[in-house]
Amino acid sequence: MARIELKLKERSYPIVVSKNSTAQLIQLLKKELKKNKLFVFYDANFYALHGKKLSKELSSKFQYNEIVLPSGEKTKSAKELSKIYAYLLSENISRTDFILAVGGGVTTDLVGYAAATTLRGIKWGAVPTTLLGMVDASIGGKTGINHKAGKNLVGAFWQPSFVFSNIEFLQTLPHRQMIAGYGEILKYAGLLGNEMLDVAEKFLRKADFYDKNRLYRMVVLSSEYKAKIVKADEREGGKRMLLNFGHTVGHAIEKSLGYGKLLHGEAVLLGLLAAIQLSAHTNYSSSKALTDYAKLIVDTLSYLPYKRLNSSSILDAIQNDKKRIDSKQKFILLTNIGKPIITDKVKQSEILSSIKEMLHMYKYGVKND
């Protein structure tokens, strides 16, 4: 078991990573709950596989209430949020009660936002059950829902009381979800450098996406890095923007294609490839410097489903990205592996060229379209 402390003064909390036990989750909850009620929100797919066992453990120790949420990106909506409000208020939730989100990034984003906004803020904990959720979505307190104008445009920073990741939960995760999580891990490889790149490369080469030891190592490394970044910049005013590496184009792909057609981590993989191309086009980096990193991403594309994408539609979606400041689009680029920069000195023609090159590699890198 690993315990990583995300230090934010009075908002500090632990990120606990376990290989196979939920015992530590019970201990984390006991610190938060005395005679208060526990409200647990499960992702439907997870609940079907593990929910009955976990609910039995939790209900035997706490004043327990549960609700199962639909799976998928469409759940991260105002409609589902309204249902959560109605349920919590009908159950007379109080500010001393506790909310637990058990699921992937959709679940922790949605339920975390409900916790942030119900009665002006209720304590909550995150139990990510997908690889993407464990390495990224559940850490850092960014909660919210999607809007027709874009992804994650409605939300709040509301830090959890803890994050608990159990590698055992990944053993039943669909292969495609594992690849989506791997997309976020490759993001960290670009940001963190050779240590993460080496672990990620061995993971892909072995082609066993359920190896507990390698998964554990990647989740711990990713959690440590993100905790360090969030500590330095909790509300994304500067350094935390580095975590958006690959996401500017990735989010634009999701929006232009329609949410859910590609998984978030799959879109991020394509976004990373576009960012590498853009790094070379803008002369921040030579293509040679990032060759091994780019090759690893290209090799991963063979696991993605093929969807027809339009470069002009992606570029249009980028113009409405929520991370613009003073109307200037910020891009996270690499000067070398492990050496990211934030810049707005990028020409539209360079962005378009990078997207077109990425789409070419995507089309011919996928085995079955």
Catalytic residue among 76, 142, 187, 255: 142
* Of 123, 187, 217, 251, catalytic: 251
Could you confirm whether 360 is annotated as catalytic? no
**In this structure, are residues 105 and 132 in contact, taking their beta carbons and an 8 Å threshold?**
yes
d(CA 60, CA 215): 30
- Rounded CA gap, 291 and 211, in Å? 27
Closest CA to 280 of 168, 225, 358, 201: 358
Q: Residue ranges per domain, the chain?
A: 2-172, 176-365
Question: Among the options 217, 247, 255, 281, which is catalytic?
Answer: 247
120 is a catalytic site residue: yes
Whether domain 176-365 has CATH 3.40.50.620: the reply is no
Using alpha carbons only, give the angle 351, 354, 358 rounded to the nearest 5 degrees. 140
Instruction: Classify 2-172 by CATH class.
Output: alpha beta
Tell me whether residue 65 is one of the annotated catalytic residues: no
Q: What's residue 324's pLDDT?
A: 54
Q: Note if 184 is an active site residue.
A: yes
pLDDT of residue 369: 44
| Helices and strands (DSSP H and E) totals, the chain | 14, 11
Q: Is 10 a catalytic residue?
A: no
Neighbours of 36 (CB within 10 A): 16
pTM of the model: 0.93
Residues 6+ apart with CB under 8 A from 59: 66
Q: Please give the pLDDT value at position 288.
A: 82
Of the residues 264, 266, 281, 357, only one is catalytic, namely: 264
Per the residue annotation, which of 32, 73, 80, 184 is the catalytic one?
184
pLDDT at 286: 80
CA 340 to CA 331: how far, in whole Å?
A: 10
Rounded to whole angstroms, the Cα distance separating 47 from 125 reads: 17
Whether 214 is a known active-site residue: answer no
**Among 226, 234, 254, 266, the one annotated catalytic:** 226
- What is the rounded distance in angstroms from the CA atom of residue 263 to the CA atom of residue 259? 8
The catalytically annotated residue of 76, 123, 240, 255 is 240
Annotation says 142 is catalytic: yes
What does the buried/exposed string (b/e) look like for 180-213 if buried means 16 or more CB atoms within 10 Å of the residue's CB? bbbbbbbbbbbbbbeebbebbbebbeeeebeeee
Report residues of the chain scoring pLDDT below 50.
325, 369
List the catalytic residue out of 9, 120, 308, 367: 120
